[in-house]
Amino acid sequence: MIVTPSTVDNFYITHDVNDTPSRRQGVDELCEFNQRAYGASLIACACELLEVDFVVTTTAQTLMHRFYAKKSLTVYDMKAVVTASITLACKLEENVRKTRDVLNCIRHAQELAEGEPKGVFIINTPEYENAKSTAHFMEMVMLKEFGFFAHCSAPQKYAYALCACLNLDEELTRKAWVMCNDSFLTPLCVRFKPDVIACGCIYLAARRAGVALPTAPPWWRLVDGAVLEDLEIVAKTLLALYEIDEKFKYIDLGKPQTTTATHDHSGDRRRSRSPTRGDGERRVRRRDSRDFRDRSRD
């Protein structure tokens, strides 16, 4: 039996999956699904350009989905969260890259996705410094939301072990592996443990290939806590992803969170200097150095 460690079971949705912060802010289900898929695909493209290990990609995608399970798309911009997710994932998986390289790879990935030339960031420019400070700020916001616990586990290793236990051929194993990769385009990683997602991918791959799996006893009992209903949810979510024909596009859903807040205190100073007075009230001058000067000169 495959049992996942208890340390990875610290962040999974226990409430209604449709009651997300973005839904409460007026974002419909399809729009949120597409924006999360866009962010995950942007992470995959940028990590490929960065030439980091594949585990960095899955970790960054998981962090992005975890964050938007707590915060709304209308408050925190997707591109800023993607940048912070990759930066944090590189540190967690010990594939550290310079912030400038991360920013430039994400910008190039946006060019490939949107077809609009953006150019590279030039160091020591206001644009670069603003993007860098925003990335660092978002990284701290994400760590705070996670309680500084950002450990992630991918379903691929569980899928490979299960396919070996079930004596499945190489082609079916490859299809299950690809479906595990595609699962990170959806919020499945915040709904189910990685071994359950692996079971769902094998279940869907076997159904599509017409391969019968053991049912007496059920093969998914190899995984602790796996039930058929969860496997069907994983399969239906992946099928919904595959039914989307159009390319995922970025949509600005609201004003992004900024690092500093500005406030005009000029009005406060004016009000403090000239307080309101009632009718017939005499104005009293404030005491200053003139009241304490040497009167012998007069």
Q: Which amino acid is at 161?
A: A
Phi, psi dihedral angles at 218 (to 5 degrees)? -60, 135
* CB half-sphere exposure, 29, CA atoms < 13 A: 6
Cβ–Cβ under 8 Å, residues 73 and 35? yes
How far is residue 105 from each of residues 13, 42, 113, 197, 269, measured CA to CA in Å? 31, 10, 12, 29, 46
Band the pLDDT of 294: cuts 50, 70, 90.
low
Report pLDDT digits (tens) over 33-91: 999 999 999 999 999 999 999 999 999 999 999 999 989 999 999 999 999 999 999 99
User: Mind listing the pLDDT tens digit for each residue in 157-169?
Assistant: 999 999 999 999 9
The pLDDT value given to residue 11? 67
23-28 long-range CB contacts below 8 Å, 24 or more apart?
24/72, 25/72, 25/73, 25/74, 25/75, 25/254, 26/74, 27/72, 27/73, 27/74, 27/253
- Three-class SS state of 215: strand
Q: What's the pTM?
A: 0.78
User: What is the rounded CA–CA span in Å between residue 89 and residue 137?
Assistant: 15
Q: What is the band of 13 on the pLDDT scale with cuts at 50, 70, 90?
A: low
> Which residue, 30, 61, 40, is CA-closest to 240?
30
pLDDT value for 171: 93
Instruction: Give residue-wise pLDDT tens across range 111-138.
Output: 888 877 777 888 888 998 999 999 999 9
Please name which of 137, 121, 39 lies closest in space to residue 82, comparing C-alpha atoms.
39
pLDDT tier for residue 270 given thresholds of 50, 70 and 90: very low
Region of residue 189 (left: phi > 0; alpha: psi -120 to 50; beta: else): alpha
Closest CA to 81 of 98, 93, 95, 69: 69
Within 13 Å and on the Cβ side, how many CA atoms surround 3? 4
Give the helix ranges, DSSP H, for the chain: 21-24, 29-50, 54-68, 78-92, 99-114, 126-145, 156-165, 170-182, 194-209, 228-242, 266-273
